[in-house]
């Protein structure tokens, strides 16, 4: 993946890229459903209390957005096709995306499964300028993974992020240093990091509605309005962002959670859900070749209060059986619950790479038998579809709710 040495590169100062996949979860689902390309597609569970994980651009035209309640999304776009999420697919494609980034530069800061900052200063002599490298990334992702990406290039992370957002979908935008401030000053103040709906309301009362309005406001006035963040947003309004690309550290937790259609108060239902979430979490651990040294559970009650409890394991594991045992012991230790449960979650903490055999060695033969069975389940489900085989306790249950 080389383009030969280059000299006198145009826009060479724009050495920070922000690369963001376009409607990532939808795009991955459409790899298996090409018949739905160009139609309104919503990824998420159709159950009443679930939320939208992702929406195609066709669905977004109806006002559907990520994190919106599914019931609201279906009212806005009743013709939308709802697809259940498949997190193991997203993890696999995400790994492919990050691997492509790694062929461009070792300086990659992964922000989520589908976006990252790249520092390409050391790659431009080998691969060309920001435009050539941006197009190389987009072309490679499209060819090797079948999805599209948008790329922004600038001298700072903040402006690169704005550039990728403004180039969506499937585009590339470079904002040179001399155009940075003029470009920023054409944008609404909401484009600035840290300026949410409430901050917009406060600023609007003083007539500050654009980035230029904010840039021309004295810092002292902004500090009175916004506190310590006044200096931060003022710097951004002038294109100042000193942060560098920080190479991403290993993922710290892997987990899954479920919001029930109706509040749950009985232990058998909670145990069944915890078993399914433990299998989802363990499968993701094995797919990432990781094991966990701790387990946590999360309960959200009917009044929306949330409780978490954690437990350190005697030895690292990637077995659903071990994770489930730890999760149910944490639940039992809580004693009588004050009210019914709205949401339950299971999380694997203290992650570390698996050993050569893919798991921690153990002298307990039962642990090894469980793990061998779960590894066989992984293989069957990869070949014949998700949940082709599952524990008998989970028969008749939904198989893959949103996180």
Concatenating the DSSP letter of every residue in 332-369 gives HHT-S-SS-EEEEEEEEEEEEE--TTSS---S-HHHHH
115 is catalytic: yes
- Measure CA of the first residue to CA of the last residue in the chain; give whole Å: 36
The rounded distance, in Å, linking the Cα atoms of 373 and 375 is 5
Which token pair is 33?
Answer: 């459903």
Catalytic residue among 29, 58, 109, 115: 115
Residue that has been written with the tokens 């309301």 in this structure: 201
- SS3 for 217-229 is CCHHHHHHHHCCH
Q: Is 11 annotated as a binding residue?
A: no
Cα 323 to chain centroid, rounded: 23
Q: Which residues face 154 on adjacent strands?
A: 16
**For residue 281, how many other CB atoms are within 10 A of its CB?**
27
Ramachandran area for residue 383 (φ above 0: left; ψ -120 to 50: alpha; else beta): alpha
CA dihedral 17, 22, 26, 27 (to 10 degrees): -90
Which token pair is 388?
Answer: 């082709």
CA torsion through residues 239, 242, 244, 248, sign: negative
Among 162, 184, 148, smallest CA distance to 17 is for 162
Q: Is 22 annotated as a binding residue?
A: no
Strands 81-83, 41-43: pairing is: parallel
Q: Which residues face 248 on adjacent strands?
A: none
Which token pair is 27?
Answer: 């795009």
**For residue 180, how many other CB atoms are within 10 A of its CB?**
21
The rounded distance, in Å, linking the Cα atoms of 394 and 403 is 18
Give the helix/strand (H/E) hosting 30.
helix 24-30
Annotated binding site for Mg(2+): 20, 114
Active site residues: 115
């Amino acid at each position: 993946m080389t383009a030969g040495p280059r000299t006198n590169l145009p826009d060479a100062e724009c050495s920070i890229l922000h690369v963001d996949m376009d409607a990532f979860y939808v795009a991955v689902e459409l790899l298996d459903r090409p018949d739905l390309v160009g139609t309104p597609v919503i990824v998420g569970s159709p159950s009443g209390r679930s939320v939208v994980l992702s929406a195609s651009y066709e669905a977004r035209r109806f006002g559907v957005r990520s994190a919106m309640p599914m019931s609201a999304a279906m009212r806005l776009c009743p013709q939308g096709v709802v697809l259940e999420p498949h997190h193991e697919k997203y993890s696999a494609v995400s790994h492919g995306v990050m691997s492509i980034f790694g062929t461009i530069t070792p300086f990659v800061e992964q922000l989520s499964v589908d976006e990252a900052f790249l520092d390409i200063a050391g790659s431009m002599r080998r691969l060309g300028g920001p435009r050539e490298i941006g197009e190389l990334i987009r072309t490679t992702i499209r060819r090797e993974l079948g999805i599209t990406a948008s790329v922004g290039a600038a001298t700072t992370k903040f402006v690169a992020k704005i550039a990728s957002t403004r180039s969506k979908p499937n585009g590339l935008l470079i904002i040179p240093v001399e155009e940075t401030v003029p470009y920023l000053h054409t944008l609404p103040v909401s484009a600035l990091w840290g300026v949410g709906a409430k901050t917009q309301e406060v600023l609007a009362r003083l007539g500050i509605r654009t980035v230029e309005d904010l840039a021309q406001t004295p810092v002292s006035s902004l500090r009175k309005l916004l506190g310590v963040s006044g200096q931060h947003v003022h710097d951004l309004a002038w294109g100042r962002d000193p942060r560098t690309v920080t190479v991403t550290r290993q993922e710290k937790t892997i987990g899954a959670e479920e919001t029930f259609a109706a509040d749950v108060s009985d232990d058998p239902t909670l145990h069944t859900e915890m078993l399914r979430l433990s299998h989802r979490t363990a499968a993701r651990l094995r797919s990432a070749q990781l094991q966990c040294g701790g387990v946590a559970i999360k309960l959200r009650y009917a009044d929306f209060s949330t409780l978490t409890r954690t437990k350190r394991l005697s030895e690292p594991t990637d077995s659903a059986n071990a994770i489930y045992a730890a999760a149910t012991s944490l639940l039992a230790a809580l004693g009588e619950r004050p009210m019914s449960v709205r949401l339950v979650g299971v999380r694997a903490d203290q992650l570390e790479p698996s050993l050569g055999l893919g798991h921690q060695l153990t002298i307990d033969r039962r642990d090894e038998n469980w793990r061998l069975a779960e590894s066989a389940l992984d293989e069957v489900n990869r070949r014949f579809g998700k949940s082709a085989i599952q524990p008998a306790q989970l028969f008749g249950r939904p198989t893959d709710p949103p996180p």
